[in-house]
Structure 1
């Protein structure tokens, strides 16, 4: 089926969606009138039927016809990039829009996601055009070249240059309407189910208090849940038809991008997209928010902007390049409007060589004037409110403090075990436990596997030995770090690297082994700590 026919079918199904809702209301009304006429008079049973009709009809009318949906443009997050402050960005966007032959955006916003999109405030389900808003993801500016960014923008505007775009806009509007309806009905059902469950729980408790068997009745969500399932079935049919239109549109927009920005730049940008998504997720989880629980964040502008450090590291660049080259082959999802990225890349690379190569290779971030300030503004509008209370520190300090906080947290069970034994929750306290012959008591208070818990005699000692060694090593590292004698160094190539005092590692393993023998000797480990400059614990006052 052609794209035009599929789009027309989707429009017909959209009309059918509203007709389905209207049909339910009309059928209920017709049934009520018919029953009234058949009875010839007002009977109590009629009022019950009418109440049931109202219970069914009200959520349909409320959710489908009466609830006002907010415009996407009004919900668009991010930082506005005005012509006055960002002339270079606007120059590229204007040039791409002109070459695509479509009307450009009225507004450009920088957003945190690895994405670019054009939203239009269209009327009448997309049939009447309106103001356009362009969103550009900060990771795209950080991770793409200008030539690759141009291909991404050309793709977005390419959607509007396609002759089927009006019908495609209608299908998109229909998708939002269906999602809104099904979601609204499920929300109502969830609320009613929670209320019903609370009533049933109270009823069961009352029956139990009287010594009676409680009812096993379950809360269901009532009519709203049934209606949600009905409309959900219709939505699946609609999505199956309409998303095929979306996939054809994606291929057509890719061709527009290749024609304007070049085949190679377009293929490379497509390959980079999933790699950038992975890099962004990895960076935010392992770097930007590493100190969140310790109350720390990187300096303003670096929560998103620090991604440039990761992407500039030679080892990371190689990893991402390999990731981009080995795109996984996926079967297309019939309910997804985007074809698998590997198929889109294959379609572009199958085009004839246009001789333009990768295009402009200048980093796209160079287009953004005063990038650090803009990325700081993006943090303000996109981070959760709790971020405002975090202390902002340089990357080296962030890593050191965050890793120390993590190490303290990991050592908390050992600290609680030592406290329960009446000892100091420190490396000194653990060494005292070993010297006092209480190492087994200590390890018995730590979490252990079923096999270790069941072991006795020699086997139990062998299970306990590596646990004791691990906790001793951990406690020593924390002690050194708290004294400022050891710490973790930032590495963009891999995990943070622990740096111990010079020469400490040479005797560390031997000293740990000595402390964990059947006949333990803690003197080597104590000597190492003293030699590194760890102050001895203050003697208690007499």
Structure 2
């Protein structure tokens, strides 16, 4: 399908959306006029029909034609990368623009997402071109080589050369209009349904008070729900057509990328994109924000920049390489603007070998001058306001303090149970409870599964024993860590590693087992803690 045909299709579908709404209004008006002419006079029944027409027509006029949609104005997200500050990156962009023969972007923006995209400030639904913007995700600079990044950017310029950016404005405008109207109608239907449900509940309560059976009538959302369903059907039609256009655009842009940057670099970049997306999510949740609840963040520039350390770890690098080779197989979604990544890779790898290999293997981050400063600026403009109040600490200190906070949180229920028993919320307090024969009284105050709560006698003890053992372990680790005798060490290969005092771990399991046996013996664990350097509290009566 040619570009002009695609544009006409997009405009026709968008116009058809409004024509559907206008057709409903015209049809209602024509029906009302025809009924009046047929009756020859104004009858009470006509007033009811006109009222129903108004009830149907009002939400169409109100939601489709009268509600103002927010304009996407103001500053674009991310950090602006100027030519003066980032000459190497701009040189690559200019080179790709020249090779594709298209007008380059007026500005480049760095964003935190695993994404690259082109935006154009068009008018008249994209028919009149305007200022162009290139958006590059920081994870792409961190995780791709220069050759792979060149492929990604060439893909985006492929959209320029195919005039897809202007066409995208048409489909985006249509998507927003359709989603806005369908959402508005469903919102009205939800409110209508809630009002109906409240009235029906009040009626049912009155009938029950009179000893009568309540009605089985259910709230539906009325005319608003019917209209929402009708426009939803149109939305599905629009999305199927417009997103099919989008998928063709992606294949065409991939081909441009392969022609400019090489087949192998393009395939490698495509394989890495979903892997980088997963790695970014994993890094942010398991590393960058590990100390969020404790009021901690990594050093400036490391909230996003620390991803490089994760990707540089040999074990993680091998894991990611394996994932890149094992792309998930799935069928194309008719409502997705992008084809499945596996199909895109297969299409590129099916091209003849161009002999260019993977391209420049220099890390793409080398293109970014003063990367730490830029990534720090990105944090300032992209993190939520609460981040400004977090303390910035180096990675080793961050992991140590964050893991101690997590350990304290895990031990908190045990602390509350001990306090309720009148005992110190410490490992020695729990050991005192065991020595006083109150261990099962303690576990009885801990959260339980349904099976554990229903168990009695010996069975209850067996459910409670692992709980007691786990809480003794938590309490011991917290006590040692708070005393500076144990701690956690950062590992980019896996979870933070807990380091206990020398010789402690070898005897720890046996000491816990002894304290949780039917004939409990807390002496081994007490001796182990004392030998590690943890002072014993003064003896107390339980």
| TM-score past 0.5 threshold | yes
1:253 shift after superposition: 0.4
1:208 shift after superposition: 6.7
Q: Does the C-alpha gap of structure 1 residues 55 and 136 become closer, same or farther in structure 2, counting only changes over 3 Å?
A: farther
1:66 shift after superposition: 3.4
**In the alignment, is residue 60 of structure 1 matched against residue 60 of structure 2?**
yes
The corresponding residue for 1:144 is: 144
- Aligned pairs for 1:450-469 (under 5 A) are 450-469=450-469
The corresponding residue for 1:177 is: 177
Q: Deviations over 1:458-512 (max 9, x none)?
A: 4443333322222111110011111111111111100010011122113222222
With structure 1 as the length reference, what TM-score do the two structures score?
A: 0.91
Q: Does the C-alpha gap of structure 1 residues 165 and 139 become closer, same or farther in structure 2, counting only changes over 3 Å?
A: closer
- Aligned pairs for 1:440-451 (under 5 A) are 440-451=440-451
* 2-structure distance, mates of 1:27, 1:336: 34
Q: Is the Cα contact below 8 Å between 2:514 and 2:522 reproduced in 1?
A: yes
Secondary structure of 1:411's aligned partner: helix
1:320 shift after superposition: 0.4
1:70 shift after superposition: 3.9
The corresponding residue for 1:100 is: 100
Q: Deviations over 1:217-242 (max 9, x none)?
A: 54444433322211110111122222
Farther off after superposition, 466-475 or 50-59:
50-59
- Aligned pairs for 1:125-204 (under 5 A) are 125-162=125-162, 167=167, 169-194=169-194, 196-197=196-197
Q: Does the C-alpha gap of structure 1 residues 321 and 189 become closer, same or farther in structure 2, counting only changes over 3 Å?
A: same
Q: Is the Cα contact below 8 Å between 1:73 and 1:120 reproduced in 2?
A: no
- Aligned pairs for 1:374-413 (under 5 A) are 374-413=374-413
* 1-structure distance, mates of 2:381, 2:59: 35
* 1-structure distance, mates of 2:384, 2:153: 29
The corresponding residue for 2:307 is: 307
Q: Is the Cα contact below 8 Å between 1:21 and 1:60 reproduced in 2?
A: yes
The corresponding residue for 2:236 is: 236
1:171 shift after superposition: 3.4
* 2-structure distance, mates of 1:389, 1:95: 42
The corresponding residue for 1:349 is: 349
User: Cα RMSD (Å) of the superposition?
Assistant: 2.7
Q: Deviations over 1:222-281 (max 9, x none)?
A: 433322211110111122222222111111100000111111111110000010010011
Q: Does the C-alpha gap of structure 1 residues 110 and 164 become closer, same or farther in structure 2, counting only changes over 3 Å?
A: closer
The corresponding residue for 1:257 is: 257
Q: Does the C-alpha gap of structure 1 residues 500 and 346 become closer, same or farther in structure 2, counting only changes over 3 Å?
A: same
Farther off after superposition, 75-84 or 193-202:
193-202
Farther off after superposition, 219-228 or 202-211:
202-211
Q: Does the C-alpha gap of structure 1 residues 202 and 103 become closer, same or farther in structure 2, counting only changes over 3 Å?
A: farther
**In the alignment, is residue 30 of structure 1 matched against residue 30 of structure 2?**
yes
1:454 shift after superposition: 4.2
Q: Does the C-alpha gap of structure 1 residues 285 and 85 become closer, same or farther in structure 2, counting only changes over 3 Å?
A: same
* 2-structure distance, mates of 1:381, 1:473: 42
* 1-structure distance, mates of 2:183, 2:176: 10
- What are structure 1's unaligned runs of at least 5 residues? none
* 1-structure distance, mates of 2:121, 2:201: 47
The corresponding residue for 2:437 is: 437
* 2-structure distance, mates of 1:163, 1:108: 19
- Aligned pairs for 1:412-423 (under 5 A) are 412-423=412-423
Farther off after superposition, 369-378 or 344-353:
369-378
The corresponding residue for 2:267 is: 267
